[in-house]
Each structure stands twice: as structure tokens, then as C-alpha cells.
Copies of this chain bind each other. A is one copy, B any other.
């Protein structure tokens, strides 16, 4: 983890931590995963990093700011995941489907990040960086659909609307799955998250594909 400093001292040793900021973010992520956003505590993160309860304040002005930072970071990871998913094929329909599935799978397999990214108290303390990261995600959706439109896969003229509806549906499905709200529905109870995403995408595509499409 370190770069230059004296390797790995056995005890907690050094006065300067080396990369406290990173350690705190990692610890926070773990705590959110096990105790929820609400249950995350600055002092416990400090403890996990072997540091006094006030050390975090040298890196983050408040508990909320740390969470916002985590959210911004997560949003970047999400965008990376979407880009990676899409990169594996050139077929426009496939790309859309993979992108959607990647969204759902990110929400599930990086649940802690995802929860922080869309927790309400982070939303009300959003920074310009976080806003920019969220906009980038939406624009990625849009650009992908724009390419499909130009290739003639989907109907002309409502790319922004399609992006809005697509993102909403995937986002909503991800949250409903994450919260277990769908666990008692016949349609979703026995399906894996990626299958649920497929169902959502299938329906969405029916609404936007060109009549002559290859559906």
C-alpha cells in the first residue's frame, strides 16, 4: 500500500500514517457495508485506521464530507464499470443490454458504494464534483443511445427521453432489489439481479426499438 516509507512496521509505530485519507475511505466503506450508512461512525473509522478520533478532521471537514467523497469516488467506479461493460462488443443492442446489466450488478456487488452514492443526506450536501460525476453517468447513457439512434437501431428523436427512462428504470430496479422490496413478488423473487435487469431492458427496448429492429 505504501510507496517510499519504511515498508511495514509491525507495531502501529510511525507518527505519520502515510495515507490516512485512503485508509479512512476504505474503512468507511467497510463500515457502511456492515452497519449501513446510518451506522457509519467517524470514530470507528479512525479506530480501524489506528489513529486518534480526531485525526480524520485533518482530511475531511466533517463526517458528511467523507461520505460525499465516498459517493463521488463510487460514481467514478460506476462509470468505469459501464464503460468496461460496453467495450466488449460493437453491437449496439448488446451494448445497451450490457450497460444496463452492469448498472444493476454494480449496485449489488458494490452495494456500500451505491448506497452512499444515493443516500439522502449525501444528496443534500452534494458538491460540484459529485454533481459532475453524476452528470457524466447520465451523459454516458445518452451517448450510447445516441450512437444506437445514428446506427438506426432505435427510433429517431427522443434520445434524451430514452436515457431518462432507461436510467430511471435501472436505478429504480436496482434500489428495489437492494432494499429487498421485490423479494415477495412472483416475478422477481427467484431471479438473480442480472436477470431482473434483463427483464427491465427487454421491456425498455421494446419501447424504443425501430419497427424494423432485430428484436
Contacts and interface: CB of A to CB of B under 8 A. Distances in A.
B138 A185 contact: yes
A200 B187 CA distance: 22
A201 B203 CA distance: 13
Interface in A148-205: 158, 160-165, 167-176, 178-182, 184-188, 196, 199-200, 202-205
Size range of the interface on A? 35 or more
Contact of A185 (B37, B164, B185, B196): B164
Contacts of A199: 161, 164-165
A79 to B, nearest CB: 14
Contacts of A163: 187
Given A135-B185, A181-B134, A172 B167 contact: yes
Contact of A169 (B168, B178, B184, B208): B168
A39 interface: yes
A52 interface: no
B206 A164 contact: no
Q: How many copies does the complex hold?
A: 2
A207 interface: yes
Contacts of A160: 185-187
Given A164-B188, A184-B131, A200-B164, A179 B38 contact: no
Nearest to A203: B165
A2 interface: no
A129 interface: no
Nearest to A160: B187
A88 interface: no
A95 to B, nearest CB: 19
A126 B164 contact: no
A154 to B, nearest CB: 11
Contact of A173 (B38, B123, B126, B168): B168
Interface string A72-116: 000000000000000000000000000000000000000000010
A179 B123 contact: yes
